[in-house]
Every structure is written in C-alpha cells, then in structure tokens.
Structure 1
Amino acid sequence: MAASLLASFVTLSCLFTVSFCFQTKRFSLPMAGRDWSPAGATWYGSPQGAGSDGGACGYGKAVEEAPFSAMISAGSPSIFESGKGCGSCYQVRCTTHKACSGKPVTVVIADFSCPVGVCYKEPAHFDFSGTAFGAMALPGMADELRHAGYLHIEYSRVACEYPGKTITFHVGTGSNPYYLAVVVEFEDGDGDLAAVDIKEGSGEWRPMRQSWGAVWRLDPESALHGPFSIQLTSKYSGKKLVANNVIPEGWKAGATYRSFVNYS
C-alpha cells in the first residue's frame, strides 16, 4: 500500500509541476539496471541554456520546452549512434569535484559532439547543455561546477518517461507531395527508434529512411495525399507501435501532429 501511494504521489507531482519531470522505470533492455559506466563530460551553450536548438537530432526549439526542459546532452559516437541514439535517456552523476552532488539526474540525447582530444580517448563522452551540467551540482554550486569545464562522470541507460505526453510527429518545413519528412518526439521506454514505416490510407506499409538524427523521410514515386498512419519500431526492445491516421489528409509542412499512443 505504501509503495502504491508513493508511486501515485510521484506521478501527481510530475503532472502538476511547471515543467514535466523525468521518471525512470525498469525495462527489459540489455542496458537496464543501475550499472554505472565511466564517461567524460563537458558543456556548451549558455550557462542556463539548452545547448543548441535541437542540434543534430532535429528537435529544434523543443529542447527548451517541457518535457525536455533543457535537460539534454550531445553524445559521442558510441552514444549518438549515427542518430539512432536520438531521444535515448541516461542518468548521469558526478562525484569527482567538490561541487558535485553525487545524485543522478536524467538527460535526453539531442545532439552529436566529439570534442577534439577527448572523444576517441574515452569509452563515452557527454557534452551537456549548461542547464544539465549544472544540475549535477550541489545546491547553489552550479556555476562553480560549470567553471570546472571538464568532469569525469558515471552514466547509466534508463527508460524515458514523459508523463502526460504522447508521441508527436513534426512535418518538416520542406515537405511536399513528393517528399515527406517527419521528426519523431517523446517516445516512452527506449526513447530511440530502429525503424519507421508509413502507410497512406488503406495502402501498404512503406519503410521511411532515416534522413538524419530523429528525422525520417519518404521519397515517393507518385504524389502523397494522406491520411498517414505511422508504425514505430523501438531500437532495443523491438516493440512496434502504430499511430493510426496521425497525419491527416490536409496535412501541412511545418505542422505538428500529436498521436494518442505511446509505449507506456
């Protein structure tokens, strides 16, 4: 009973704070658990900023807003995985500096970074937003921690959970009847994707190509009209999820369409 009440309290707290908070949960992935691995860490952008506007994953200004809330990071090749790591969530903590709190915080991979001189000398490297880097500090010591510039940290892969959010599809501004690009955001669980398929009306499923980061595209031989259903395949669990008719017949380039589904 106590555990149930605590879980309910945590859920309600997340829903009614100004920014949606990240929660972590157990999930049946190879990287699950509390096994911590070593990594290097730097930060970029403004001290209280979100690093950059979406960077190499294509999330744009969404990185500044809930549920990301600037708690994002760029990842080195082993983390970014040529864009397949976009949207994956990690707990990170630091203990090697006097300003470190030692408490884990959760970040989302939203960009690519390979700092000269450190990237390929480390098993993994995180280049945090100023906000995320400072979040690892003791209260009132975020600026002091950021002044360190570089840290040795520990990280652990965790599931993503976005209370109150469903998977969102943002249609690229250059899209037209002969080219359709979508940015996929807010997938619970794995957070990242192995494949995206699209179906026009009652037609057949067609695979989309990963254009870059979290952007997936279709280059059809004939004009597209919609509505479109989109099938997502998670990278680690392999689970498939279908958002039926999520992009309407009268779709527009630059528009965002929210589904009614998520992995949890």
Structure 2
Amino acid sequence: MAWSTRELADLAGTTVNAIRHYHALGLLDEPPRTYNGYKQYGVRDLVNLLRLRRLAGLGLPLAEIGTTKESDATEALRRADTVLREEIERFRRSRAGIAALLRSGAPVDTPPGFEVVGARLAESDRALIHVCTRIHPPATLLRLRLMVSAESAEVRDRFHALTPGASELTRKHLAEDLAHGGAHWRSTVWLEPTESGAHEPSPTRMTQQAFIEALTALYNRAQHDVLRRADVALRAQRRTAGARRTGLGVSPVRSHVPVAFPRPQ
C-alpha cells in the first residue's frame, strides 16, 4: 500500500506543506516516485513522520531534532521544558493583564500594574508612567502606584485642564496644591534622599534625562511651570522640616542636583 503526500498528511494529522518542510530540512527522507513523478509513501514514512510530530509537539526545535542523538534526548527535553515553562509564565502574565484591564475598564495601553487607576488617567499621564516603568526598579514602581492612586481627582483634573495661557494665580495655587501632600508623582523629589536616609535608589543621569524629556514632550508650558513651582516648594518643605528636627538653620539632607523642569516660554 502506498500513499500520496496528501494522504500521508491526512493520516499523520498534518499538512502537505509541513511534509515538504520536513523534506527540505532533511528530517524526512524523500520516498520513491511513480513513473509520472508522484511520491509514494509507505508505513515507514508514516512512522517517521509521526515521530517527528511527537518530538515537535514536545517543544523540541526542528533544528535540533535532526541532530539530537538518543543519548542527548534527555538534555534536549530539559531545554524544551525550560522554554515552555517560560512561555507559560509569559502567557499567565498576559492573561492576568487582560483580566485586570477587563475588570477596570482601563484603556488597553495602560501600563502593567496600573490597571486599577488607568481609567481615570489622562493619555499624557499614562504615557509618562510607561516611561517610568522602564527607568524605575520594581520597588520604586510600587511606591509610584500608591502615589498615583492617592492623587486627588480634583487636583489632577485641574492640572490637565491647564492651557498654555493659564494665569499666574492659577499656576501658583495649583502648584501649592500639588506640593501640599508632601510630594507628587510627576516629580523626582520623592526619589531624593531624606534626612533619615530612607529613600528609593537614586535615579541615574540617564533616567533623569529620560524623565525630563518625557515631561517636556507630554505636557504644555503652563503644566511645566506648575510642576517646577511644586518641586521648588517641596524642596523648601524638606529643608524646613530638616532644620526643625535638628534645631539647625540648615537641613542635613544630602545635596542633590534638582531636576530642572522646562521653564515657560
């Protein structure tokens, strides 16, 4: 009994193209042909094809199947198992992210870990958080999530309602409100060392620059001015608090080069 390529594919539960691919890779020998050029496959070809599909189904790369000896098969399986375990974990994280987005109704581009607050964030804020997820370590991102969640909706809405021509008084009052809570998440002040020494890992020059570039691109000049004023106020609060604790006229907070927000034009 001889089978055509199509019949062999049907018997093995695969496709004609897959069989041709196995031939091209040298994993499956070419069978004899009839006088008119048609391939004729036998039982041995079917068994070899089923073995190939078994190894491929276990996750072994096709490039390894042809070179893996029986004595090396166990190690090849261990490597395949590691790859599959990593893939399963990636799929698990993807499913968890999808579930969180569906529960919260947040936009699909919400950064991972921020799904709960994503629905109430402006596009510019989500974009800034995307940058933060690349430049901050996990411990810092955890604190960032807490700060974003705790931000006043009223202050946030006022900040995003700012137009480039917002008045001096409007900017002043909003900057004061941003600084009122002791820090705001669109700043690097909360990352700086404190008098007690408890702080997040200091941002590098590159991460600071990336943060500032993001602020410059994502917010308008009035918003830049408000953020700059808020940071000035926050640093003043720290100096005052430090002096009060020590009874000195200067704060013992270690020196830090402040991040310079773009000034209004």
With the shorter chain as reference, the TM-score category is under 0.3
TM, length-normalised to structure 2: 0.20
TM, length-normalised to structure 1: 0.20
Which structure's CA Rg is the greater one?
2
The structure that is strand-richer by fraction is 1
